[in-house]
Amino acid sequence: MGRVGKTTLAQVVYNDDMVKEYFDLKVWVCVTQEFDVSGMRRTIIEAIPLTCDASDLNHQQIKLKEFLSNKRFLIVLDDVWNENYIVWEILRRPFEYGAQGSKIIVTTRSEIVASTMLTVPIYHLKLLSDDDCWLLFAEHAFEGIELDTFAKLRDTGRNIVKKCSGLPLTAKALRGLLRSKRDESEWEKVLKSDIWDFPDARKLSI
C-alpha cells in the first residue's frame, strides 16, 4: 500500500547515529518502475563512488564485488516494483561478499517482491489509529494556536483525519495544506472535496 510511511521509516533507520557508526558504507537508491540491473548497479557504484566501465556489466560486477569485500554496508532499495527473481539474483551477487552484519533494506508495495528478497520476516507497516493520525495532523496544522479557540476547525479537522484512513503521508500532506489557513470555509472545502470519491484518493498528494 502506498503512503503508509515505508520510505519515511527507512529514512529514520538510515539516518540514525548508531546506524551511521555501525556501517562502513551506506547507500540509498531510489528504484524506478523501469527497473534495469545495469542502471541500478551503476547508481550504487556512483554513490560509493567507484570508477569502472559503465558499459561493461561483468566489469561492474567484479569491481563492485571487490569494493564491498569485507566491508559492512547498508544499502536501501526504495520503492521496488520488479518481481523477477532472476533479475534480483543477478543484482545481489556482489553483495554476498560484504562483511558479516551487512544489510539490504527493501521497501515495496508488492508481496511478491518482498518474498523474492526475503531473508528475514517481512515487516508490514500498520495504518495509524484515528487518534494517532489526529496527533500527526494537529501537530502542524494547529501549530502556535490553542485548539479551544478554533473549536470549529478542530471538529472539521477530526472529520478530515477520518477520511485519511490511517495513512500518515496523507495526513501530513493535508496538515501542510491547511497550516496557514484559519478560515473555516477552507477546511470545509477540503472535507467536502470530490477528491475523496476517487478510489485512490488517499494516495494523492492533496
**CA atoms of 183 and 148, how far apart (whole Å):** 15
**CA-based nearest residue to 14, from 32, 28, 3:** 28
Domain ranges of the chain: 6-116, 130-203
**Which parts of the chain are beta strand (E)?**
25-30, 73-80, 103-108
C-alpha angle 175-181-186 in degrees, rounded to nearest 5: 95
In tens, the pLDDT along 153-205 reads: 888 989 999 988 888 888 888 888 888 788 888 888 888 887 776 555 444 44
Which of 64-68, 119-123, 155-159 shows the lowest mean pLDDT across its residues? 119-123
- The answer, as to whether pTM is greater than 0.75, is no
The CA dihedral of 13, 8, 114, 16, to the nearest 10 degrees, is: 0
Contact between 83 and 68 (Cβ < 8 Å): no
Res 132 pLDDT > 70: yes
Q: Which of 15-21's residues contact partners 24+ apart within 8 Å by CB, and which partners?
A: 19/74
Give the pLDDT band (50/70/90) at residue 31.
confident
Output the average pLDDT for the chain: 81
pLDDT for position 74: 93
